[in-house]
Amino acid sequence: MFLIRTIVGGVFIASLTACTGPSPVPVARAMVYYDRAAFVETLKHDMPAVTGDVVQHGRCEVFVTTPENNVGSQKPCVFALTRETVYVASWNAFGTKYENLMTIPLKGVDQVAYTAFGGMRQVQLTEKKRLLGLAVFNDEATANPEKETKQAFESIKDSGVPEGKSIRGVIFSNALYYSTYSPIYINTRK
């Protein structure tokens, strides 16, 4: 009887904990504020260099590397796409404002490519000295939808950037390639 009460009580506590435990918030949503309705106005206020009509905007992750590589730095961000420029911004929570991460004039982009691997989809912009991968996310930062990513790709292509091929596929974060060494000491003396 004691064993049955223990098992039933354990299952009850486990199910209660699972229902009321903290729900994880995606890192990109936690680190970058994004309000679709007020975004363009807020971005133009915080970054006066943003000019022109914004044709698409949203949450993203940007990957930066050198051409012909597929491992680089990664940063959660928001983007605003005009006919001439892609603006990529981060969120300064202390100053409650957007800050420019990079401004990419489309006239300086050699080619644009769309690539996908598994659930990751990227618009890749190749410049002379860098390769940028822009992964467009939904407003909740929980998915990398194909529709919005292809829409950004088509908008950039329609702005006059020639379509090209992704040389090495999706750009991955260099954090995947760093390992942590944790020495383990075993004391054999008594």
Q: How many CB atoms lie within 10 A of CB 59?
A: 26
Structural contact between residues 125 and 79, judged by C-beta atoms closer than 8 angstroms = no
Summarised one tens digit per residue, pLDDT across range 137-152 is 998 888 889 999 999 9
Residue 167 pLDDT exceeds 60 = yes
pLDDT in tens, 84-128: 999 999 999 999 999 999 999 999 999 999 999 988 999 999 999
Q: Which domains does the chain have, with CATH numbers?
A: 27-177 (2.30.29.30)
Average pLDDT, the chain: 85
pLDDT for residue 121? 94
Neighbouring CB atoms inside 10 A of 118's CB total 7
pLDDT category, 15, cuts 50, 70, 90?
A: low
Q: Please say if the pLDDT value at position 16 is more than 60.
A: no
What element of type H or E holds 7? helix 2-20
**Which H helix or E strand runs over 61?**
strand 56-65
Read off the pLDDT band of 76 (50, 70, 90).
very high
Give every CB contact of residue 111 below 8 A, 6+ residues apart in sequence: 125, 126, 161, 162, 163, 164
Q: Residues 6-21: what's their mean pLDDT?
A: 55
Rounded to whole angstroms, what are the CA distances from 127 to 61, 72, 101, 131, 141?
18, 15, 16, 6, 27
pTM above 0.85, yes or no: no
